[in-house]
Structure 1
Amino acid sequence: MITVLQIENVYYPVLAAFGVPANLMTIAILSRGNCDLSKCISLYMTAMAAADLLVMIFNVIIYRVISFHFPSSFLSYTAVCKFILSLNPAILDLSVWFTVSFTFDRFVAICCQKFKTKYSTQKTATVVLTIVSVVMYFENIPFWFAYEPERIINNISWGCLSSVVFYSSPAGVAYSWFKSIFVAWLPFCLILLFNCLTIRRIIVASRARRALRGHHRENQSDLEMKNRRKSITLLFGVSGSFLLFWLTAVVSFLTTRLPSTAQTRGDFATPEYIATETGCMLMYLSSCSNTFIYAATQTKFREEIKKVMIIPWTLILTLVKKKEKKKKTFSSPS
């Protein structure tokens, strides 16, 4: 158990140090619109990066780093603690369902040509992302009632413990099952379903394409298939990494129905605690992976990263040149 805590003490600060700049850079690059991506795809990717950034800030930095290392700070007030514990699952849900929304949009774009022109648009993406955000907020309100003060000092409530009354009540049990389905079963099943249908569509289309090109060899290049391959690589990279990093958390969630270790009531020796913490570490790692996937699959994105990385050095060289000019001006005879 001590080993798990020691790993977390190093893991989460390092994760935040990489995750925050990576997602900020992704948002900045995608917002410029120079990556040869449609506005619809860019909007989904920006939304996923924004959700991942919020995960890094609230779930990792505030809850996993600051609250743990500074247990007597204002974050330990029960009202603030309950707010954080109810906000964290909502942010995670955003990250999950933005990924599902992106996967469905790419499924429509590849497999539903007639529906594509109506659905895969910037307007539809905006509506979908807004609806998902509102639903995730209201869906996590019950977490506000799922915790109770850990201790009361001078009539001031400190800390948060999972409420036995809430989780043992019929409503609490039903909500726990609902969360296990809504966060674990449903997103995984939908992503797997959309990817399987997409793969099936690709195989059928590729066979038909090869047969057609066999009769018409004069076609030297197939731009449509190249663009489709780029879209497929991006889709499978994002959804595949999500499934991989979330697998442990999902299995743990399905077996324990514990969204966080706050519900273990401080017992660090339970298998539920170990499984949940291990799943959380991998789960939060997925909030850093998309930037590297975009860089690996998108040539324009890599070029934009290079430009962003050059900017600080360019500024430094400019400042150095200005200082040298000033020195020469002051040192030259009047």
Structure 2
Amino acid sequence: MAVADLMVLTFHVILYQIINGYFPYSFFNHTSVCKVNLTLLFVSLDCCVWLTVAFTFDRYVAICHQSLRARYCTERNATVAIVVVLCFSIVENIPYYFIYEHREVIDNVEWACYVKSSFYTLHIWTVFLWVETILAPFAPYVLILLLNSLTIRHIILANRVRSGLRGNSSTAKNTDPEMENRRKFIVLLLAISGSFILLWMVNLICFICVQFTDTQFLEANYNEPFTIAELSGYMLKFLSSCTNTFIYAVSQRKFREELKNVIKLPLVLVAKVADHIK
């Protein structure tokens, strides 16, 4: 998940937004390179989304199906899931390479990327957009909500059983560390579901508007309200590729301990050097 997030930052923020904005005629703005970069951008974004779904399913199995946990939640299965998600994302996003063409030609060299006019007229691209929207975010919406709802339901039922076994006094409930950990996990799952839904919502609304109005995707008029909303939706959905990993990572005690060690390491090295000099 962290590598997929870094891929999004690399292909979208660095190689596309920054270089395209500040170095318009660099190597990365050759049309062929630009098309590859944009394709890899969508590949990395889909990897982030579906790795989040895979991780959510992994947590669901680990918590709700103890009998399957030992067999399913293994390093080998995690590797297989990552490879499958990566291959699926690559195959799914290959058509993006053929959406774009050069924006201008200078000394017989094609520069930048521009959406082909046929993108707005051919039915095959309409079908492609529908498939893309179903795969991200419709299907992830449903799967993340369903899996997290089942996980939360399982935790709540387990909490009721545990409360009954421990007694119904408020003191017993407040001093139970296991109950507190379960509450924190419920908050974590709600944060994952809520952030994904909210950050993809604008993009989803724009897609629905295109299907039922005369507006079009990827218009060049940046003064139009729909274009502003569309670009805002792109920004938010790319942001969502980073938030889930951050929420999962920061919520883990071991991760926080390792982060503290990384922060302390330079100070420890400086102290050792100082002692050696003395």
What is the TM-score when the length of structure 2 is the normalising length?
Answer: 0.85
Kept in 1: contact 2:35–2:100 (CA 8 A): yes
AA of the residue aligned to 2:110: S
Q: Partner residue of 1:126? A: 79
Asked if the contact 1:52/1:287 (under 8 Å) is kept, the reply is yes
Q: 1:190 aligned to 133, 137, 143, which one?
A: 143
Between Structure 1 and Structure 2, how many residues are aligned? 270
> What is the Cα deviation at residue 161 of structure 1?
1.0
Task: Determine which of 297, 313, 324 is the counterpart of 2:267.
Answer: 313
Q: What's the secondary structure of 1:152's corresponding residue? A: strand
Q: Is the 8 A contact 2:45 2:241 kept in 1?
A: no
Corresponding residue number in structure 2 for 1:249: 203
**TM-fit CA distance, 1:147:** 0.8
- Show the counterpart of 1:141: 94
Q: Tell me, which stretches of 5 or more residues in structure 1 are unaligned? A: 1-47, 258-262, 326-334
Q: CA separation in 2, counterparts of 1:320 and 1:212?
A: 57
Structure-1 separation of matches of 2:74 and 2:119: 43
Counterpart CA distance in 2 for 1:53 and 1:105 is 22
**CA 1:256–1:236 in 2, change beyond 3 Å: closer, same or farther?**
same
CA deviation map 1:27-78 (0-9, x unaligned): xxxxxxxxxxxxxxxxxxxxx1111111111111111111111111112211
After TM superposition, the structure 1 stretch with the greater mean CA deviation from structure 2, 90-99 or 240-249, is 240-249
2:125 counterpart (172, 176, 182): 172
> Is this contact kept in 2: 1:110–1:228, CA < 8 A?
no
Q: State the shift of 1:144 in Å.
A: 0.9
- Distance in 1 (alpha carbons) for counterparts of 2:268 and 2:206: 48
Further displaced range: 84-93 or 300-309: 300-309
Q: Deviations over 1:125-180 (max 9, x none)?
A: 11111101100001100011111111122222111111121442121111011111
Residues 163-204 of structure 1, C-alpha deviation per residue, up to 9 Å, x if partnerless?
121442121111011111111211111111111222222222
Inter-CA distance 117–200: structure 2 relative to 1 (3 Å threshold): same
Distance in 2, matches of 1:318 and 1:153, equals: 58
Counterpart amino acid of residue 283 in structure 1: K
Instruction: Say if 1:199 and 1:295 are closer, same or farther in 2 by CA, change over 3 A.
Output: closer
For the 8 Å contact 2:47–2:89, the answer to whether it is kept is yes
Q: Aligned partners of 2:165, 2:272: CA distance in 1, in Å?
A: 57
**2:262 is paired with a residue of what secondary structure?**
helix
Q: Does residue 1:78 correspond to 2:31, yes or no?
A: yes
TM-score by structure 1 length? 0.72
Runs of 4+ in structure 1 deviating by more than 6 angstroms, as ranges, are 219-224
Match of 1:40 in 2: none
1:276 and 2:276 aligned: no
Secondary structure, counterpart of 1:72 in structure 2? coil
Superposition RMSD in Å: 2.8
1:66 aligned to 2:13?
no
- The corresponding residue for 2:106 is 153
Are 1:298 and 2:252 counterparts? yes
Of 55, 63, 66 in structure 1, the residue corresponding to residue 8 of structure 2 is 55
Could you say what secondary structure the match of 2:105 adopts?
Answer: strand
Task: Give the structure 1 partner of residue 45 of structure 2.
Answer: 92
- Which segment drifts farther, 195-204 or 281-290? 281-290
**How far is 1:85 from its partner?**
1.3
Preserved contact between residue 56 and residue 287 of structure 1 (Cα < 8 Å): no
Deviation of 1:93 (Å): 0.3
Shift of the alpha carbon at 1:232?
4.4
Q: How does 1:213-292 map to 2 (within 5 A)?
A: 213-214=166-167, 228=182, 231-256=185-210, 264-290=218-244, 292=246
Unpaired stretches in structure 2, ≥5 consecutive residues:
212-216
Give the SS at the match of 1:264: coil
Structure 1 residues 84, 100: closer, same or farther in 2, change over 3 A?
A: same
| Distance of aligned partners of 1:289 and 1:264 in 2 relative to their CA distance in 1, 3 Å threshold | closer
Q: What's the % identity of the aligned pairs? A: 45
Counterpart Cα distance in 2 of 1:94 and 1:86 = 12
Q: Residue deviations 1:282-315, cap 9 Å, x none? A: 2333344346534652233222211111112233
CA–CA separation in structure 2 for the residues paired with 1:155 and 1:119: 55
Change (3 A) 1:59 1:127: same
Q: Secondary structure at the match of 1:157?
A: strand
Deviation at 1:111, TM superposition (A): 2.1
